[in-house]
Amino acid sequence: MKNNFKEEISSNPIFTLVSVASKSLDIDSYVVGGYVRDLILNRPNKDIDFVCVGSGIELARKTAAIIDVDLPVNYFKNFGTAQFNFGEYDIEFVGARKESYRSDSRKPLVENGTLSEDQHRRDFTINAMGISLNPENFGELVDPFGGVSDIENKIIKTPLDPETTFSDDPLRMMRAIRFASQLGFDIEANTFMAIKAMASRIEIISQERITDELNKIILSKTPSYGFKLLQQTGLLSLIFPELVNLMGVETMDGKGHKDNFYHTLQVLDNLSANSDDLWVRWAAILHDIAKPATKRFHPKNGWSFHGHEELGARWVKGIFRKMKLPLDEKMRKVANLVRLHLRPIALAKEGITDSAVRRLLVEAGEDIENLMLLCRADITSKDQTRVRKYLKNFDKVEELLIEIEEKDKLRSFQPVMTGEIIMSVFGLQPSKEVGILKNEVREAILDCKIENTMEASYQLLIEMGEKMGFIPLKKLEEL
């Protein structure tokens, strides 16, 4: 592996600009961390971190002035850092420092330090490398802990004793697993054992930081690898016990069920091969989350999990709240996918009718493609004949979905007959009866009994209203 990257970094003017600014301030500077790692791995990275032996804020100010005197710079004096954007790159500066932590605190005690001390505080050897921007050795790699060798051997390893590294910042335990999952690396044995021994230290880390790392694991190419590492180290039971509860197989009268933990991870991998959407991946993770709570054994039929989709959908909000995930349309999207994930499977089993497809289109709305991706991913049987049969039936379901959607535009379906109109027609106040009438009209439209027009809806409304003893006060032409 080469040890000089002058040619590679010379292609981006930011490195020369920082070098010039550093020389004018008479300080040494280096590009460090993830950018160096990804340069060696040939991975794109738009975040560039610079460390200088001096004031990172002054170096940022000087560099920005050379680029453009009006370039906006964000200063974080409490942390000794500064940041600005340079084209498509996010540029950050900090002075070299050394850190120490108290056992009961997430916040480090920070002092000025040397480049070596700054590299010693880094989390992993692959992130502890630097590239010099100093004129006498511009582009030279500084790799005190063998990060290049660990990249070649695909190893995640701490630069210092792992227990010291993880005690300083317990989130690094999750970062180790995140990098292993993203890069397809192994965690070095001593580092792995230290995570197992110190897993409980994760409890002092804020939920927001934990969830940020978890989401990065979920977005990796094969997220099941990261989740298995989380489970093997004991971290998963601390940060996501609901998922761990899916683990295990119970047998009665010689009848068992599949391990829903490993099934869920397989579904997640299957889905991830076709979707980079974080929230659809969360739906895969949560689609069977309520199975332990709904598990029942019947001597004749074996194990069942009736209603797990509805209960699971209701659990989504609580899980999102605990995880500090957004309680907005993203959450509602996940809950709806969890609620509906059995519906296409039921259609494929029982036969397809226009009415059932119309209802599915209305309830899934804009997420119908994501729902079908989730359902296809959910077919994990070892019986390949069974898998092919289901997938072939899904093809038929999707063909009919496309055909009906093109004809009826049901994704944005709204009945023309609203609750306000119903109240106006019969002179009613908001009530249960209004809801019943509105639902009757809606169901008739979805069952293709009437068209979604005011004329057809009004005629049915009058018929239903009269059966309930209501007298219409307005004619159709008055609406």
**How does residue 324 score in pLDDT terms, banded at 50, 70 and 90?**
very high
How far does CA 445 lie from the centroid of its chain? 37
Residues with Cβ within 8 Å of 346's Cβ and at least 6 positions away in sequence, in order, are: none
6-149 shares its CATH topology with 163-239: no
Strands (E), 257-400: 296-298, 302-304
Among 154-163, 291-300, 353-362, the least confident range:
353-362
Q: Does 238 have pLDDT greater than 90?
A: yes
Among 110-119, 187-196, 315-324, the least confident range:
110-119
Amino acid at 190: N
Q: What's the confidence (pLDDT) of residue 347?
A: 76
Domain residue spans in the chain?
6-149, 163-239, 259-412, 419-478
Q: Does 412 have pLDDT greater than 60?
A: yes
Mean pLDDT of 20-28: 95
Among 20-29, 247-256, 259-268, the least confident range:
247-256
pTM (two decimals)? 0.85
Assign a CATH topology to domain 259-412: Hypothetical protein af1432 (1.10.3210)
Closest to 316 measured CA to CA, from 208, 230, 242, 263:
242
Query: Which has the higher per-residue pLDDT, 105 or 394?
Result: 394
Mean pLDDT of 361-389: 85
**How does residue 291 score in pLDDT terms, banded at 50, 70 and 90?**
very high
Residue with tokens 């639902």: 439
Asked if the 163-239 domain carries CATH number 1.10.110.30, the reply is yes
Alpha carbons 448 and 148: distance in angstroms, whole number: 66
Q: What's the confidence (pLDDT) of residue 286?
A: 98
* Residues β-bridged to residue 256: 251
Percentage above 70 pLDDT, the chain: 94
CA diameter of the chain: 94
Alpha carbons 121 and 436: distance in angstroms, whole number: 65
**How high does pLDDT run on average in the chain?**
89
Q: Which class is 6-149 in CATH? A: alpha beta
Count the alpha carbons within 13 Å of 181 in the hemisphere toward its beta carbon. Answer: 25
Q: What's the confidence (pLDDT) of residue 279?
A: 98
Q: What's the confidence (pLDDT) of residue 410?
A: 63
- Please return the burial class of 350, using the count of CB atoms within 10 Å of its CB with bins 0-12, 13-18 and 19+: exposed
